Amino acid sequence: MSLAATLRERDPAVGSWLSLRDPAVAELTAELAFDFVVLDIEHTPNTMETVIEMVRAVDAADSQTEAIVRLPWNDPVVVKRVLDTGASGVMAPMIETAAEAETLVESTRYPPEGVRGVAGSRASRYGLEMEEYYRTAADEIVTIAQIETERGLENVDEIAAVEGLDALFVGPADLSANLGIYGEWDSEEFLAAVDAVIESAHAADTAVSTLAVRNADIERWVHRGFDFVMAGTDTTHVLTGSQRAKSTFEDAIEERES
């Protein structure tokens, strides 16, 4: 089953968040058979050239992992270029109104339903399968809106109900910051905001997700009602793994010399 079909059925899915720009990181993560990886180009120096190489790397892995690109902004020009790389979908930050969500969806659709420009690209095997891709792209492309501001929370019911939107994503860092409670993950205000997004999404039969960096957070958010989760980030895995190895060495030295 494709990722788009999985999310539209609200079946469980697990992804991994990638910020490092080396295609090998994308490929080895995909080899672990995550349902998807998120390639971040909002908070990284990654370029369109980076994206296409990382999408190729994900496709090269011996798995069914799909690549989603987190956009720098809700920009139809960027959406068009990202999808032309062959990425399976996009996730847009700071969506605050239904109109903005509609713009996002329209950016992923070819005319007459949307505004995406038609051209042969990697997504259509450089035009060799253009007609088929034109007919089927809307069924396969995943479109995710990030809810991470007070205004987004106020309008979350209308955003969740936008036709063609596959999922909402709670951006925990930005949402808590915009609420004036950055990092207070256990505060009543933050958890109420999380619950509001989950409830609005499910009322519209729309999937909902978030990022979980720690294992405890993965369990916590799954039990709270999220349909799918971005489980960890490449940078966190490098940091925690390196810290653990260094600490193990230091403990062994201390034990040997005691």
Distance (Å) of CA 82 to CA 116, 170, 173: 11, 22, 25
43 catalytic, yes or no? yes
Tell me whether strands 13-18 and 36-40 are parallel, antiparallel or unpaired.
parallel
3-state helix vs strand vs coil in the chain, percent to 5 = 50, 15, 35
For residue 62, the Cα-to-chain-centroid distance in whole angstroms is 21
In the set 43, 202, 223, 237, the catalytic residue is: 43
Rounded Cα–Cα distance for residues 101 and 164 (Å): 9
Rounded Cα–Cα distance for residues 117 and 133 (Å): 13
For residues 110 and 163, is the Cβ–Cβ distance under 8 A?
A: no
Please give the positions annotated as active site.
Answer: 43
